[in-house]
């Protein structure tokens, strides 16, 4: 099979081992940006009924991982950490030919490059890049980091960066930072949704209709985020611009501080990062 290094990006076939939410976010973002069509996307999962949503979009679906690996040039590993050994066994069992000259892109929390490279050692000339994306890439606002394995080529990095940059911002970082960034950016959207929901609840409590309260809370979060990204000002300075002396906002900030919101969010990031590292140690040695 022709390797991905001799193909133009638009000719690539992209595979996903595991068709969950993150895989859907990446594939959906790629298609929305016009980089590829669903006919160039191949997905495997243990049961065909769980792949029906992919099939309805025009993706190619299989219940064995080996076929996806044989057909595709770039394969995203998008299973849960504890499923990876089983997925690898399925690849080997269902591949009619030796898997060679493939680029594997891991989005699996906690599994380090060394462990991944050991698992793929029997595959000829295959390379690995570890990434940590987040679901907002589905709407073009992703935040992803990546770290190439030892065998990854400059062209491999270019392919992955092309995909990730089309779906938001991305940075190459040392692997030692990935668990922490995964907690901040990967888990972060869930924390943000919780805050939006809480703000909406507060609005409803004070008499605002639910739909309007949720819309206003989400738009307020979006607007505040854009102010941080585009103004270049420190978040403390932006906060102070809203807090008038003796006013409503500083009173609300005081209530948040009494509730320990700042410490709770910091604890959430720390706990998520610690859990990511634990998953890697537990499931793949």
- Using the predicted structure, report yes or no on whether residue 280 has a pLDDT greater than 90: no
Q: Which of the four pLDDT bands, split at 50, 70 and 90, describes residue 94?
A: low
Q: Which of the four pLDDT bands, split at 50, 70 and 90, describes residue 283?
A: low
Other C-beta atoms lying within 10 Å of the C-beta of residue 114 = 12
Q: What is the pLDDT of residue 6?
A: 59
Q: What is the pLDDT of residue 7?
A: 72
Count of alpha carbons within 13 angstroms of residue 209, beta-carbon side? 2
| Tens of pLDDT, residues 167-214 | 999 999 999 999 999 999 999 999 999 999 999 999 999 999 999 999
CA 212 to chain centre: 29
Alpha helix ranges (H) inside 64-209: 65-71, 84-94, 113-119, 154-166, 178-181, 188-205
Q: Which of the four pLDDT bands, split at 50, 70 and 90, describes residue 57?
A: very high
Q: What is the pLDDT of residue 88?
A: 80
Domain boundaries, the chain: 4-173, 188-278
- Specify the CATH architecture of the domain 188-278: Orthogonal Bundle (1.10)
How far, in Å, CA of 105 to CA of 22, rounded? 13
- Using the predicted structure, report yes or no on whether residue 92 has a pLDDT greater than 80: no
How far, in Å, CA of 177 to CA of 174, rounded? 6
Count of alpha carbons within 13 angstroms of residue 20, beta-carbon side? 13
- Three-state secondary-structure class, residue 16: strand
Domain 4-173 has CATH 3.40.50.720: yes
Q: What sign does the CA torsion over 28, 32, 35, 40 have?
A: positive
Q: What share of the chain is helix, strand, coil (3-state, %, to 5)?
A: 60, 15, 25
Residues linked to residue 74 through DSSP beta bridges, in sequence order:
14, 103
Structure pTM? 0.85
4-173 and 188-278 share one fold:
no
CA 200 to chain centre: 26
Q: Residue 58 region, left (φ>0) first, then alpha (ψ -120 to 50), else beta?
A: left
Q: Find where tokens 């493939």 sit.
A: 102
Contact 9, 155 (CB under 8 A): no
């Amino acid at each position: 099979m022709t390797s991905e290094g001799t193909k133009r990006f638009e000719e690539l076939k992209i595979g996903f081992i595991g068709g969950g939410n993150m895989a859907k976010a990446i594939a959906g973002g790629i298609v929305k940006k016009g980089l590829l069509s669903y006919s160039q996307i191949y997905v495997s999962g243990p049961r065909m009924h769980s792949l029906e949503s992919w099939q309805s979009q025009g993706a190619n679906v299989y219940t064995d991982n080996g076929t996806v690996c044989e057909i595709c040039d770039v394969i995203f590993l998008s299973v849960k950490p504890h499923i990876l050994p089983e997925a690898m066994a399925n690849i080997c069992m269902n591949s009619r030919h030796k898997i060679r000259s493939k680029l594997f892109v891991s989005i699996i929390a906690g599994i380090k490059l060394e462990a991944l490279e050991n698992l793929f050692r029997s595959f000829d000339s295959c390379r690995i890049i570890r990434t940590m994306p987040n679901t907002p890439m589905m709407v073009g606002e992703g935040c992803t980091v990546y770290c190439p394995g030892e065998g990854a080529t400059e062209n491999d990095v270019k392919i992955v960066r092309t995909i990730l940059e089309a779906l938001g911002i991305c940075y190459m970082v040392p692997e030692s930072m990935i668990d922490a960034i995964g907690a901040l950016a990967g888990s972060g959207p869930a924390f943000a949704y919780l805050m939006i929901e809480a703000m909406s609840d507060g609005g409803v409590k004070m008499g605002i209709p639910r739909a309007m309260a949720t819309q206003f809370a989400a738009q307020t979060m979006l607007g505040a985020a854009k102010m941080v990204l585009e103004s270049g000002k420190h978040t403390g300075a932006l906060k102070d611009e809203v807090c008038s002396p003796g006013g409503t906002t500083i009173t609300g900030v005081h209530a948040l501080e009494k509730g320990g919101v700042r410490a709770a969010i910091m604890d959430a990031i720390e706990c998520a990062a610690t859990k990511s590292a634990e998953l890697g140690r537990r499931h793949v040695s």
